[in-house]
Amino acid sequence: MEWDFERCYRAVDSRDPRFDGWFYTGVFSTGIYCRPSCPAVTPKRENVRFFPSAAAAQRAGLRACRRCRPDAAPGSPDWNTRADVVGRAMRLIGDGVVDREGVPGLAGRLGYTERHLHRMLVAEVGAGPLALARAQRAQTARILIETTGLGLAEIAFAAGFGSVRQFNETIREVYAVSPSELRAGRTRQRGGTSPNPDPSGTVGAINLRLAYRPPLHADALLEFLALRAVPGVEKVTGGTYRRGLRLPHGPATVALTPLPGHVAAELRLADVRDLAPAVARCRRLLDLDADPDAVDGLLGADPALAEAVAKEPGVRVPRAVDGFEMAVRAIVGQQISVAGARTTLARLVAAASATPDEEDGAGEEDGAPEPALRPFPSAAQILALPDSAFGMPASRRATIRAVAGAVAAGDLDLDPGTDRAELVRRLVALPGIGPWTAGYVALRALGDPDVFLATDLGVRHGAAALGLPSTPTTLDAYAERWRPWRSYAVIRLWRTQ
């Protein structure tokens, strides 16, 4: 969005939740920062300054408001839609790359020096990579403090802090209370019940709310995911989506239930250090940081889509938790039905399920919501399978092996911070991958908001049902008016066919 004081102040004065995550309100008379929808009395203009990120507000010496929880606001849609270096960096930081690999690792992935990357982030976001990662660590620590019975020292290291002292100082600076006071306050809100009172000391389930900007068409998301759910990996029942995850420090399971105003998430992790990347991947999967007003405003202006947008506002792009998984799904889905692809993928998962990589997963502990759910096989597991496990033509099997080999060797990066144009070029250079497959991967694995699959049969059928051109060339030309949200148009056309 354009930074304009009057526009931002009007959003704060009207407590408009649509702007949550777009910017943060710093109130220097009280020393706190809030989300625009904070229910507190509107501060005076002379006491207000607006920040592009929570980290920038913290860098200015402000603490998070304990009433509106600005650190838990939806993320800025910019970081999902932008394909430039700053957007890619923000996605990688959100996935925990700085905590795992440090700033040198982040800079190396992006192909820039640490100094230049720092300059770009400060100019755009108001804070460098260390400050952004620190803000994320503080939020992760708060979630663990309030939802688990882990000791505070354990939480400090699980959240990515280098020492208990650093952890204590950061929590005091960000929330103006000590970690023990933060836990005590949450216990009082629960009516005296401590979080996770399990005498065994295990973490158990971590329950939290994932915010989004309304409207959210939850039924469209769940229908899409249910139709393509691979047995053994994911399942949709009773309005809840469950699946296995592969995270940096081990496997996990997640249950996501869309509710009014938030998505309830239940996470079971093998290692609590994976909380931040797990949350980032769940948000990415459900496209929770999208700006539905901007998307629906543009698509709804087209008479062909106006009725569908008015009837189903807030349709999102179902994305992915694992780029390699989505690449395999796209290849398997070439020229076969969704049901056929699901059957083939289920066989592939079953064949790979007995490998040592997947033993003793987080989803197998007592009380897990779905013990059978496992992460999708890794590139190494796929490479280790015999030809008989694939159940598909030899050419398609060779394509999957080529992608798995490139990922395993580090020659193909399918992470959310990947350069989108470069990924498409690398994919189409592999045997058996054409524009449709590369576009599908960009749409779902990378979350590119402006992919249009003009040759897709479902897209063409949907266009024909709306009276639009249905040949690939003419339809592609017509879709130019839907930029930069053509990926959302694809989802709506699929729903129309």
Catalogue the active-site residues. 34, 456
Cβ–Cβ < 8 Å for 25, 35:
yes
Nearest-angstrom CA–CA distance, 375 and 353: 9
208/92 Cα distance (integer angstroms): 22
φ/ψ region of 196 (left if φ > 0, alpha if ψ in -120 to 50, else beta) reads left
Supply 5's token pair: 């004081």
Classify residue 139 by its DSSP letter.
Answer: H
- Token pair of 65, please? 């408001």
Q: Which two tokens stand for residue 486?
A: 């053509």
List all residues 6 or more positions away from 85 whose beta carbon is below 8 Å from its beta carbon.
Answer: 110, 112, 117, 120
The H or E element that residue 206 is part of is strand 206-211
Q: Residue holding tokens 């639009």?
A: 468
Alpha helices in 251-387 (DSSP H): 275-286, 292-299, 303-311, 323-332, 338-352, 379-384
Tell how strand 63-64 and strand 32-34 pair up. parallel
**144-166 burial: b if 16+ Cβ within 10 Å, else e:** bbbbbbbebebbbebbbbeeeee
- Count of C-beta atoms within a 10 Å radius of residue 300: 15
User: Kind and range of the H or E element at 108?
Assistant: helix 97-110
